[in-house]
Amino acid sequence: MKIEGVELRRVALPLALPFRTSFGTETARDVLLVRVVTSDAEGWGECVAMADPLYSPEYVEGAADVLRRFLVPALPRIADAHAAERAMLPFKGHRMAKAALETAVLDAELRAAGTSLAAYLGASASRVPCGVSVGIMDSVPALLDVVAGYVAEGYVRVKLKIEPGWEVAPVRAVRERFGDDLLLQVDANAAFTLADAPLLARLDPFDLLLIEQPLAEDDLVQHAALARRLRTPLCLDEAIESAAHAAAAISLGSCAVVNVKPGRVGGYLEARRIHDLCRAHGLPVWCGGMLETGIGRAANLALSALPGFTLPGDTSASSRYFTEDITEPFVLDDGHLTVPTGPGIGVAPRPDRLADVTTDSEWIPL
């Protein structure tokens, strides 16, 4: 199975609803898709880098540059995801770019073999419960309306984005309106400091599943200090870029839960290692999201079906993100999404839709 070349394709998709986090407001996704063409099959990967380097140092234009300049030329000629991972290892960082290329290679490899990504990764579920990530709103009544809509759609867990000044009040309001049985958690995207420990401790009475990444993106030591001062479990997102980081966080006591995002950690192979490590240590994991299209979503659902993913993920339905996805839409059924069973990631972009939203395309022969 020889790799013939790689296409980098950019698509522009408006978001169904502006998404505000502590680091900024997204109104559209500028997505980089990677298509690997081999002699037997082609494979797709989605790069989750955002337009600006606000969540992490990566950004979509930088990802395209490192792919065309270094990562694609380094690819082995045979489509083998482990070999691709090793070949990209000398290049530091750029995990989102690496993840997109590795996933496209893996998809091609699995399609040629007739194996689904879910089966390959070791999935034990055929459908997964889904949560939804709710942005910061202009007012508490506006937030309650949005949450009410998602709860009515059937989402089994709600995550509220928080920042200083938008923490206790939104959590209290959602608890009062939807009751103690709603699975509820918050995500600060690194917006607080250790000096905010007393403020964050005011969230303890609300029985949240977890507080996600309250402190700086690279600080395991202060997260460990904060964890000792809160009853609510801490979960890390930004701070875990590899299985080695997860091991360090577990040793230090920096978190009790890990948000696994394949893009953030360099791909599905490393994501599975983090799953295996956390499972061995008794830490629950869940699958985060980066406002993916159906391409990234399909692969995330396969990962979410592994046995250690015991908390609902940010794997929401297509309608949560886009009025029209680039794949067949993922539709919520009783709060769950079905894990694709076809070869590879099990989905592909619809050609007509893809053509409509493509803003740029570049072919890199090998």
Instruction: Report, as residue numbers or ranges, the catalytic residues.
Output: 161, 261
Instruction: Note whether 306 and 124 are within 8 A (CB).
Output: yes
Torsion, CA 291, CA 297, CA 303, CA 304, rounded to 10:
70
* Alpha carbon of residue 222 to chain centroid: 24
214 contacts ligand OSB (rule: CB under 6 A): no
Listed ranges 82-90, 107-115, 288-296, 358-366: which one lies at the site for ligand OSB (CB under 6 A): 288-296
314 contacts Mg ion (rule: CB under 5 A): no
325 contacts Mg ion (rule: CB under 5 A): no
CA nearest neighbour of 292 among 355, 349, 364 = 349
Minimum gap (Å) between residue 238 Cβ and Mg ion:
7
Alpha-carbon distance of 88 to 75, in angstroms, equals 7
237 contacts ligand OSB (rule: CB under 6 A): yes
Burial class (CB in 10 A: 0-12, 13-18, 19+), 334: exposed
Instruction: Report the site for Mg ion in 203-222 (rule: CB under 5 A).
Output: 212
Residue at token pair 């380094």: 74
Take residue 161 and report the two structure tokens written for it.
């984005």
Helix 268-281 vs helix 243-252: angle between axes, to the nearest 10 degrees?
20
Minimum gap (Å) between residue 286 Cβ and ligand OSB:
10
Instruction: Report the site for ligand OSB in 25-64 (rule: CB under 6 A).
Output: 55
CA nearest neighbour of 232 among 201, 260, 254 = 201
User: Total number of residues binding Mg ion (CB under 5 A)?
Assistant: 3
290 contacts ligand OSB (rule: CB under 6 A): yes
Residue of 162, 291, 298, 317 that binds ligand OSB (CB under 6 A)? 291
26 contacts Mg ion (rule: CB under 5 A): no
Q: Which amino acid is it at 60?
A: V
Contact partner, 85, from Mg ion, ligand OSB, none, Cβ < 5-8 Å per class = none
Minimum gap (Å) between residue 213 Cβ and ligand OSB:
7
Listed ranges 62-70, 93-101, 164-172, 289-297: which one lies at the site for ligand OSB (CB under 6 A): 289-297
Contact partner, 56, from ligand OSB, Mg ion, none, Cβ < 5-8 Å per class = none
292 contacts Mg ion (rule: CB under 5 A): no
Closest CB to ligand OSB belongs to which residue? 289
Instruction: Note whether 130 and 104 are within 8 A (CB).
Output: no
Angle at 172 between CA 166 and CA 173, to 5 degrees: 90
Instruction: Report the site for Mg ion in 143-202 (rule: CB under 5 A).
Output: 187
241 contacts ligand OSB (rule: CB under 6 A): no
φ/ψ (deg, to 5) at 45: -140, 150
Residues that bind ligand OSB (CB under 6 A): 55, 133, 187, 189, 237, 288-291, 314, 316
